[in-house]
Amino acid sequence: MNTLLKLLAATTLLTLTACGASAPAMRAPEMAPLDLGQPAVLDKNHFHQDQMGNVTEAAMREILASPVFLEEKARIGVVPVVARYEPSYDVPVETITGGLARNLAENGFFEVVSEVTTDWPGGSGVGGLRELATRYRAEYLLLYRHRFVEHEKTNGWGWGWLTVVGGLVLPQNTYETAGVMEATLFDVKTGTLLFTVYERVHALEDFNVWNNDWKIRKLKEDLVGEATEKLAQRVDMKIRDLVAARPEKRAGAVAQAPEAAPPGAQVAQ
């Protein structure tokens, strides 16, 4: 009887051991990743507070989708403008627009380059600019303007007023001016702006009390005169980018920028 009980106990123990060995180990439960799919392409303006002007949503999308490049054998005019890009009607005594026109003629990317007179009868604002360009039969206008901010204070030489005579001759006024020269390429046919470049200038001078208006005007003229070449170089770089972006004429052909001015290029006087 004892032998039978021992065999039964041993058999039971072997069975439980075999079952324990074959059972899989306990693991932490796993969750399958959520299938969120690919994010949708954004094609809608969600900023409902944006105010649309005269450009419709469809026109805006058409403009932004169009290629940007410089047309071949195009004509360009260089015109000074004032606030809100209205033509400047001052006497054109400054040399900046002439320098920009010469540089555009020398780079050879335009068939005709001309400084534009603003005395011709026409409208104001952008409409007036387009009318002027049409009279010159120019597809592009390079719009130029400069603006200055000024600060003036009495410096350490101000004690000269204690002697009266010293106040009249000592440079007790410190004058500081900072300016920005701006050139923008205007596509006359489409009304779009292809680029804007800036050249910033700065000066700090001490003056006495005599003829300061003339001194300040001369200081500004010298600043913009010295920076004209730098501004022209910035314009030239942007023009070359637009030439390089011209659509290919045929498969495998890449538009090349001319190395020199074509025979017919000239600055119209």
What is residue 230's predicted lDDT score, i.e. its pLDDT? 95
* Rounded Cα–Cα distance for residues 63 and 58 (Å): 9
Domain spans in the chain, listed from the N-terminal domain onward: 69-247
Helix (H, G, I), strand (E, B) or coil at 198: strand
* C-alpha dihedral, 130 to 136 to 141 to 147, nearest 10°: -90
Is 224 in contact with 96 (CB distance < 8 Å)?
A: yes
What is residue 255's predicted lDDT score, i.e. its pLDDT? 45
Annotate 117-165 with three-state secondary structure.
CCCCCCCCHHHHHHHHHHHCCCCEEEEEEEEEEEEEEECHHHHHHHHCH
* Rounded Cα–Cα distance for residues 8 and 27 (Å): 34
* Burial of residue 160 (number of CB atoms within 10 Å: 0-12, 13-18, 19+): middle
CA distances to 166, 172, 175, 225, 226 from 207, rounded to whole Å, are: 13, 6, 7, 21, 21
CATH of domain 69-247: 3.40.50
What is residue 166's predicted lDDT score, i.e. its pLDDT? 65
What is residue 37's predicted lDDT score, i.e. its pLDDT? 67
* pLDDT tens-place values along the chain, 269 residues long: 556 556 555 565 555 555 554 545 556 666 666 666 677 777 777 776 666 677 888 888 899 999 999 999 999 999 999 887 888 877 776 789 999 999 999 999 999 999 998 888 777 788 889 999 999 999 999 999 999 998 888 777 667 677 766 667 677 888 889 999 999 999 999 999 999 999 999 998 887 777 888 888 899 999 999 999 999 999 999 999 999 999 987 544 444 545 555 545 555 54
> pTM for the whole thing?
0.72
What is the CB-side half-sphere exposure of residue 261 using CA atoms within 13 A?
A: 15
Is 152 in contact with 192 (CB distance < 8 Å)?
A: no
The enclosing H or E element of 214 equals: helix 212-244
What is residue 253's predicted lDDT score, i.e. its pLDDT? 47
Q: At what angle do helices 212-244 and 96-107 cross, to 10 degrees?
A: 20
